[in-house]
A and B are shown apart, each in its own frame.
Chain A
Amino acid sequence: MSRILIVDDNPTNLKLVSYVVKAHGHDVATAGDAMAALASIEQQRPTLILMDLQLPGIDGLELTRRLKADPTTRSIPIIAVTAYAMKGDLEKALAAGCDDYVTKPIDTRTLPDVIARHVARAERAS
């Protein structure tokens, strides 16, 4: 069973995304900031990470860069989930190493498909 780590500092968003992901049969881990996310990854490697970019302290872009620089976590797909939807934000996310990019407000009907596609690819690769 795939395990999805949701990183978001907003509790309401965390609740929403968790519900959607769980409803589609994934295990869910949550983290409110970068340190909690790293601890969670250390404890149990997730299949995929849904990453909010605005986080207190180390932000989502920086956290993504670190994970993609680390050989042990490099292969985990990271989908940016962000309310930054201005021109250039997508490029910034991809440049940091995100594998995909979803803007808030999220589409609860299509998000599971995006997750499923990346999970399938990750499972094929491993």
Chain B
Amino acid sequence: MSSATSKALRLLVVEDADDDYRILLREVRRAGYDVVAERVTNASELAKALEQKWDLLITDWMLPGFGGLQAIEMAIAHTDGMPCIVISGTPNEDEAMSAMRAGALDFLSKDRPMRFAPAIERALREASETRAKVAFEKALRLSEERYRSAFELAPEALLTFDLDGLEIVDANLAAAKLYGRSVEQLRTGNFVDNSAVTLADGRDSLAVATDILLRMRAGQSIAPFEWLARNSDGEEIPVEVHLVRLAGDNPRLVRLTVIDLRERRKLEEVRQRTIELELQNRRIQEANRLKSEFLANMSHELRTPLNAIIGFSELLHDGQVPPTSPEHHEFLGDILTSGKHLLQLINDVLDLAKVEAGKLDFRPEKVDLSKLVNEIVSITRTTAAQKRINVDQTVSPELVDIVLDPGRFKQVAYNFLSNALKFTPEQGRVMVRCLPDTAETFRLEVEDTGVGIAPSDLGRLFVEFQQLEQGTAKKHQGTGLGLALSRRLVEAQGGSVGVHSTPNTGSTFHAVLPRQHIVVPSLPRTLTPKARTGTRTILIVEDDDRDRELIASTLAGVGYGFEIARTGRDALARCQERPFDAVTLDLLLPDMSGLDVLDTLRVGGWLRDTPVIVVTIVPDVKTAMSVSEILRKPLDGSALLSALERAGVRPGSAQVPVGGGE
């Protein structure tokens, strides 16, 4: 029984007979073992030899003062399962039994040396198999322990759910903490029992869970979803659930990772609130600045007519102007005119204050629009004549049975008309028109051949205290109140205002008003323009803080509403929640490319025709997709406003079609 290759064997032999030892070694070598052997004859020698490592112990059964049984017991006690074989000169059944019981793998007779080698081979094989099995079992035990402790002590709440029994079969400590129940209570409970009846989005939790269960059973994988857990106190906790089918022999087990979202939500809220406060602070500062500016303007505008009133009165009172002179009468006229101008200013300011306080009165009555328009044109006749401006007026004969407050209508028409006269050069033309709009509304239009307005300025026209020309070089006098007041008056009647303008060609201001006055509950408003119903809302997709704030404050400054998305995923979520009037899109977002976001939204139908303005540092962007405009960073706020104007998205004129056909 020799093997082709020699096999190393460290052999320890307990044998007192030299011949027997020699025969044994011969047989072992013959079997092909490259043997290293040591012979001992008593307990102390064996004990010493056992300090070394051996592959196999072969022991004689009967030795003087020592025995095979004892040798086996020592070997097994001192080693890690060392294989032992007994070779006896006088074998019998009883000895064999006791040897095997003590752990010997074989019991051979010295008379049959040819059996030695096969027995050794078998013993070595058995020992090796035993060692492997022990090692495997140890590894398995360790792995299981590791897994258990990873499960038990994981920071996330973990549940194991049985798709067949519909039971939670296992839960960890974090789950117990989250749900306020013991692990035992959670086990054998149902997932739905530990959920709110109605989810945050209003869906029935049982129905949703059933749907998910069916999909899991059908072998589908389930994306993480938000859920409302319910703890033992009945408190509802927003959580995110991840479902994973457990690998192994039971395919019906599912691992649920339940992540408490409260902390995350709180952080998000704090962050959102911080941004809101910052923006609010900016808006307040801006409003403050505008108010100071407004006060300075008001002071100037009030002093101008007062200069004439007080100055001329002083001259007359001091007797410096003879009562018979033509100047005497003329100066009295100047005092009168200036007084009236002053009154107009004060009325405008009071009206604005009333609008701000939501206390504007309307006295609607049946009116003749032609008559009202005629009155307005008459009032401004002198101004028009001075500049030789031709004023035309038309009122559609369809517009009968109009019920509105004539005074308020004239106020708006007067503001539009005097504004047109102010900005139209000599010998220009101004047209005042009343036209049907819808069955319920009509349209007042005042068109001029004036200087026009730059697109970037259009958004500021109807905002309080905003005069397009700042500083002392204001060419056109005014309090900056007329158009803002007009807008407020029209909106308070449920209408809207708008403007269409071409620089150096002219402008058309219009108001859409109800044919029958309807009462619109007017709410107190702050002096700053802020989000209202009908405000255009822009989605700002931008991860850079500074750019985002620049865009947000630019938009807020002229009366746009806005929402913010910092990531592509956030943008997708927001667009699926509500429509936006326009989107500003950064291309380099932390989680995905801006163009991928756009692609998803366009293809998904969430942004069918919504204008998208790309704001990017990427030079030479090439996109096949429909993008309104591409603006380069660093961003110029007025360029953004102009782009929105060109896209037809203007603040606070949501119902008014602006652009062509006017």
Chain A interface (Cβ within 8 Å of chain B)? 10, 12-13, 15-17, 19-20, 23, 53-62, 83-86, 103-109
Contact = CB atoms under 8 A, between A and B. Distances in A.
A13 B312 CA distance: 10
B315 interface: yes
A57 B304 contact: no
Nearest to B334: A12
Contacts of A16: 307-308, 311-312, 315, 331, 334
A60 B310 CA distance: 23
A92 B524 CA distance: 38
Given A13-B304, A108-B318, A56 B473 contact: yes
A53 B307 contact: no
A104 B474 CA distance: 18
B306 A105 contact: yes
Contact of B472 (A12, A23, A59, A85): A59
A83 B300 contact: yes
A83 B305 CA distance: 10
B22 interface: no
Q: Chain B binding site: helix, strand, loop or mixed by DSSP? A: helix
Contacts, number: 83
B344 to A, nearest CB: 15
B471 interface: yes
Q: Chain A binding site: helix, strand, loop or mixed by DSSP? A: loop
B473 A58 contact: yes
Interface in B464-480: 471-475
B240 to A, nearest CB: 57
A105 B311 contact: yes
Interface in B297-323: 299-301, 303-304, 306-312, 314-315, 318, 320-321
B306 A104 contact: yes
A54 B309 CA distance: 19
B296 interface: yes
Interface residues of B, number: 29
Closest 10 CB pairs of A and B: A83-B303, A104-B307, A105-B307, A105-B310, A56-B475, A59-B473, A59-B472, A108-B314, A16-B311, A83-B300
Interface of B: 295-296, 299-301, 303-304, 306-312, 314-315, 318, 320-321, 327, 331, 334, 337-338, 471-475
A13 B308 contact: yes
A84 B475 contact: no
Contacts of B295: 86
Contacts of A53: 472
Nearest to B321: A19
Nearest to A108: B314
Contact of B303 (A17, A62, A103, A107): A103
Contact of B304 (A10, A23, A108): A10
Given A13-B304, A104-B304, A84 B314 contact: no
A25 to B, nearest CB: 13
A109 B314 contact: yes
Contacts of A59: 471-473
Most buried by A among B303, B334, B472: B472
B307 A13 contact: yes
Nearest to A33: B475
B304 A83 contact: yes
Contacts of B307: 13, 16, 83, 104-106
A83 B308 CA distance: 12
A83 B306 CA distance: 10
B338 A12 contact: yes
Most buried by A among B300, B338, B471: B300
12 contacts: A10-B304, A13-B304, A19-B315, A54-B474, A56-B473, A83-B307, A84-B299, A85-B299, A104-B303, A104-B306, A106-B307, A107-B314
